[in-house]
Structure 1
Amino acid sequence: EWLRHIRTTWAWVFSVNEVPFTFLPEGFRLRPPCVIHATHATFYGMQPMTMPVERLIAEAGKLAQAAQLPGDQTVVIERDGAYVGISLPLPPEFCRRLDYPLVLPVDSQVPLAVYLGLAEGGARLWLSLNQSDSPHVLLAGTTGSGKTNLARAMALCLAQRNKPEGLALVIADHKGHFAALTALPHVIAYALAVPDEVALIRWLVERLDARTSGAEKRQPPMVVFMDEISDFLAAGGRQAVEGLTRLAQAGRAEAMHLVLCTQRPAAEVLDPTLRGCLPARIVGKVTCATDATIATGQAGTQAQGLVGRGDMLLLAEGQRLRFQAFYLPDGELERRVEPLYSLPRPSLAIPPFLADEGGIAGSVSDAQILERLRAGQGVTQIIGELFGCWGGGKWWGYRRRIEEVRQQAGLAAASRRRIIPFPFGGERDGRK
């Protein structure tokens, strides 16, 4: 069915020695192409025979019209020497997501390398935050582009590949998309409201000063994830912009890295000085060519032609790669992080960051939590009765506090074993 759609809708015409596309400019002939079927597009690598590559690139708009693409999709044409690569996006009904892997590959031994997804040729794509030209990452794209899913996958990948004593994660997320990650033992600070995010930046600047002066020696690398920074910058004003800019400018030398997400990194949203301190760019679907230039920092990237849903461009280390980012929905994220909750939480000699999220650092005492734990109550019941919360982003903050009280008291975690009935009577002990 997929091949039938390709041949009928886009009208491929095959011959023995050369492959003319019926919608290419007249007189344009190509050698037989290398065809790669990606999740959101079909990629053709080929060598022009009768026309300069520049003319083909100039005809990208006409090619999209002839290929009957929707108005928000374009043909992406890139040049590599005498060769040209043409990416034709698939219709939405033929697009598929790329699920986060069950087991991470061992391609990279770098602790701060994150597994982003698959490149157009199917190769695994890694990005190392240890590199001098990619210490900080700007993740941009409209709603539905997949940027938040990718940022969560990056944080999960770091947590899975590093022990809690070897990595410090900081999360600022007032929309609750990262809430399940806040209970990780790697997380040393988090903020789930915009005012707390402003205070968090001040706390991070203090940590930067302490590392620079030597007051906090031998601290693990720190990676800060901030979702939708436009709201934070608008609420924090100039002080927030200056603090974040200082972290971006001086953080790499002290092993402090930023991963910032925004829908539109325009000058009125993201300060140009701050934007210039974010060398690595990951860009999803944007609305127009102007936004594509602002987001990527380069002209002619054609990011406005990306399909969305994880179809992205990576611009880092002097390269530009199109890839398919991982899809990590809420339920799958919760299942992946839960085995990591039991890891021991390291004791770091740094002042804690406390954000009063309606009870996380508030009126409920540790003694009340401990009493209910000893009575055999579960985490969900304790959160509901003591904090009045039965779901949402704050739930994970409460869970983290309960787990800390449990560990301090030396209580064993609740058993996850269950009884599986046999069809012939009797029972068998099994694991969930």
Structure 2
Amino acid sequence: MAFEGLADRLQQTLQKVRGKGKVTEADVKVMMREVRLALLEADVNFKVVKQFIAKVKERAIGQEVLESLTPGQQVVKVVNEELTALMGGEQSKIAVANKPPTVIMMVGLQGAGKTTSTGKLANHLRKKHNRMPLLVAADVYRPAAINQLQTLGKQLGMPVFDLGTDTSPVEIAKRGIEKAKEEHHDYVIIDTAGRLHIDEGLMDELAQIKEITNPDEILLVVDAMTGQDAVNVAQSFHDQLGLSGVVLTKLDGDTRGGAALSIKSVTNTPVKFIGMGEKLDALEPFHPERMASRILGMGDVLSLIEKAQTNVDEKKAKELEEKMRTMSFTFEDFLEQLTQVRSMGPLDEILGMLPGAGQMKQLKNLKVDDKQLNHVEAIIKSMTKGEKLQPETINASRKKRIAKGSGRSVQEVNRLLKQFEDMKKMMKQMSNMQKGKKKGGMGGMKFPFM
């Protein structure tokens, strides 16, 4: 996961001053040395690191911090604010044309995930803004690019405009916009050609497309795995085309995150979206303040809520809540809840959004194996309807049948039954605590699912 190494280093460093009642200038200098090393190891641009350290140091040894009641927490606040500023300060949204359609031009080198990102962005615009974009296949040099975009269009149920490989990309882009106007599309997303490296021919063609389409957005797709190379590519494209934003792909991979932290400072071009997986819904708007909080172990509750609102059925959630309270929660309900939670994304990523998760030993190195969840699902699906509703009826012979049907062992079936029973007991205790609040018992305790 991106930023993992940086997050660990920064959290360990800041933990040393977080609870301090008194922080000296010497403390700040030691801390800044650690922060500097952590950023350089994360492949953040050297000049960016130098400027960042200077800003944090200046603010951290100021009178406002050192003489405050909680200087340690104030230092953490300064680092958080400067980290946020480094990545752009606030979310940079897609510009919308005064008169539709809004034209978005996708550019980038081959292999960065440009065509896939085009499909993901179209899906995002439809889901978040209820719009139906027209995808334009303007990469005529790689026939597979047109086929790939058509396949993505079919998967998403979205129209794709193409004129094959014998028409010039400039003409395709022009006629694509005309088509969008005729069919009243709000957005046109043009998938342009890429190269293995930046060359004059590529830039000339992109400049011509820009001139004839007058795009509202020119988004560069770069692979976060390439580190500082991504920043250099962004600078080259920006110098010649004038980018409006960057889409960083593969930020869910084993990347140190330096590109995300450097691009805005070096190119003055904001990161607008980040790719967090291969699925067509794995494109997220980039929120600098939320990313800074995640890096520093403060969680990202807003993104977690948004994921839940998008993927979890509110009516079903309320029904499950009521069943938990009344102790009528069954394996059928558990399976439904498991499906909804999994639709939000990888569980270790979701847990990482919880405040303080980085400092909790139980969660710190937790890797939730999807295979284990598949095994649980298989066991439950091998039960009869009656067994799901009344697990206490599952005797030894039924356990053998369930184990055989799910391809798992009897021990695993036993373990799941025990865990389910333990979970129901815990729900009962929590439900009693909630009742206790009204009587002044365990007042103030609130649980996320209650």
Q: TM-score, normalised by structure 1?
A: 0.37
Higher strand residue share? 1
Higher helix residue share? 2
